[in-house]
Structure 1
Amino acid sequence: MGRRWTGFLLAASAVAATTLGAPAEARASVLCPGNAICLWHGQYHTGTRYVWTGGYHDLPGGFTDHVGSFRANRSGAFIDWASGKVCHPVRKGDYGDFYLRGFGGKMDAVGDRC
């Protein structure tokens, strides 16, 4: 009986470990439409969301120099104008869960290309 119970607990732990990570990833995919780049004010796709679908756009005031996370379902470019144009290309499938300490703390705009 002890071996069965131990085996059950190990199997249950493995299932739980593989499914616990999925909801955050799935949630971000659902929250960002296809052919868009989504930016969130908070880390790990939380807080206010900005959806970019093409063309050049300055970021809304709350997002300028404060992008906490992103998910790219298309290619584009993140742009910083603080000391001339600094541009980071983004490809479909790219994402940042905690982006504020990176380029998200500098971003001013989003565009189609650098």
Structure 2
Amino acid sequence: MKLRMWPLCAVSALAMLFPVTAAQAAPAAAAPACPGGSVCFYSGSDYSGKSWEWTANSGYRDLPPALHDHVGSFVANTDACFIAYQPTEKRAVHNGDWRRDYRGDFGGRMDGVGPGHC
């Protein structure tokens, strides 16, 4: 009977030496609320840092200095057109779109935002 318990004890000992790390991983930040008809921009990833709310009825706007070429994340509750210059490039964003880490993508080049489709 002692021989049959050895594999179970060995597995238990190994489990103590190598704990499961998935349970220790921090959960990703959930997208925060953003008012309808708006796009909420954040300078940091995971909706952190400086923030700015653009509304569709305000027309085209340059991003504020803290976000110019530094959009780390966003939440869209309306259709919008993200714009970068030199070279000019546009990205359509739709109601319900969000990105928790955007700086390494288009957020690192973005200069302005306008209403509707690009």
TM norm structure 1 = 0.73
1:89, CA displacement in angstroms? 0.3
Does 1:25 find its partner at 2:25? no
AA aligned to 2:114 is G
Does 1:111 find its partner at 2:114? yes
Does 1:48 find its partner at 2:50? yes
Q: Report runs of 4+ in structure 1 exceeding 2 Å deviation.
A: none
Determine which of 100, 105, 108 is the counterpart of 2:103.
100
1:21, CA displacement in angstroms? 5.4
Higher alpha-carbon Rg? 2
AA aligned to 1:25 is A
SS state at 1:40 partner: strand
Unaligned runs of 5+ in 2: 1-22
AA aligned to 2:53 is V
AA aligned to 2:105 is G
AA aligned to 1:67 is V
Determine which of 63, 66, 69 is the counterpart of 2:67.
63
Taking only the aligned residue pairs, the percentage that are identical comes to 43
SS state at 1:44 partner: helix
Q: Which structure: greater helix fraction? A: 1
Number of matched pairs: 91
Q: Which residue of structure 2 aligns with residue 81 of structure 1?
A: 85
